[in-house]
Amino acid sequence: MNQRQLRSVISLIVVVVVAVFGFFQNQKKGGGIGGGGTSCQDEFRAGQPGSTTTGVKLLCRNEYISLYDPARKVPLVVAEHLTSQELQGDTPRTDNFQPDPELASGARAELTDYRASGYDRGHMAPAADFVAGQTQMTQSFYLSNMIPQNPEMNRGIWAGLEGATRACTKSLGELYVLTGPVFVGRARTIGPDNVAVPSSLYKIVVSGDSARAFVLPNRTLPKTGDFTRYETTVDAVQTATGLSFFPAGGVNTAQDGKFCSGSYGG
């Protein structure tokens, strides 16, 4: 082999090594699933949350990321990096609920599962957070972003908590938001696909190194603007869910944050 041929072989090896490295880095970051940010991590505050549940899938969307449980057919946590700019759009709500096109039948909820179930298709990342674009709005109505939710709770106090979070975002400029279900007690399901019904829902909002965490039972609750009665610590939510929300650290999980008292009532 002459020198020119040797250089060609070395160059080819370098190209292959770089390509393989890039592929595995992309897979590690979740870039092979969905159509979210360039790294499929940009909605997380401090790394991808860890879960004790096996078989979870990382679903990347344009403005949210979900850790999805194909066994329960619900997301375990939906993450948003919510900014005040994203809330300034005028994209109308579509109500175009649909099964997630990236999940196979048998690993996803279907419209028939919710029909006549007595439960709402409850958004984890709310549609009102995605007024900046049609793609974001469409993706927010995938059933992989839903859990079976008590109707009065969904349309009442939970909608109020979502609105308070948007108000806090507008006040501070940005928040990281984590939302999902809590399963405690007797297991309940709906529909032919056995979509799991959570006992409670949590929402965690993060500003800088401070976090506020709220857990609301999945049942009819009195409407209120004072959400402090449902406030707890991130550590308590981690214990209840088996999730580790901030693996890279930098967030106080033991104490309640004190920001946006005007939005959350204290």
Query: Are residues 8 and 127 part of one domain?
Result: no
Residue-level pLDDT at 19:
35
Query: Are residues 178 and 147 part of one domain?
Result: yes
For residue 76, what are the domain limits? 41-264
Residues 216, 153 contacting (CB under 8 angstroms): yes
Round to whole Å and give the CA distance between 185 and 188. Answer: 9
* Residue 251's CATH number: 3.40.570.10
Round to whole Å and give the CA distance between 152 and 158. Answer: 9
Query: Are residues 179 and 250 part of one domain?
Result: yes
Query: Are residues 109 and 225 part of one domain?
Result: yes
Query: Are residues 56 and 13 part of one domain?
Result: no
Does a structural domain hold residue 191? yes
Active site residue 81: no
Does a structural domain hold residue 59? yes
How many Cα neighbours within 13 Å face the side chain of 46?
17
Residue pLDDT, tens place only, 143-194: 999 999 999 999 999 999 999 999 999 999 999 999 999 999 988 999 999 9
Query: Are residues 248 and 124 part of one domain?
Result: yes
Query: Are residues 192 and 69 part of one domain?
Result: yes
Catalytic annotation, pick one of 57, 123, 166, 170: 123
Residue-level pLDDT at 47:
78
Query: Are residues 171 and 90 part of one domain?
Result: yes
Given a cut of 70, whether residue 13 has pLDDT beyond it is no
Residue 11's pLDDT band (cuts 50, 70, 90): very low
Residue pLDDT, tens place only, 111-128: 999 999 999 999 999 999
Query: Are residues 25 and 138 part of one domain?
Result: no
- Number of C-beta neighbours around residue 20 at 10 A: 10
Does a structural domain hold residue 209? yes
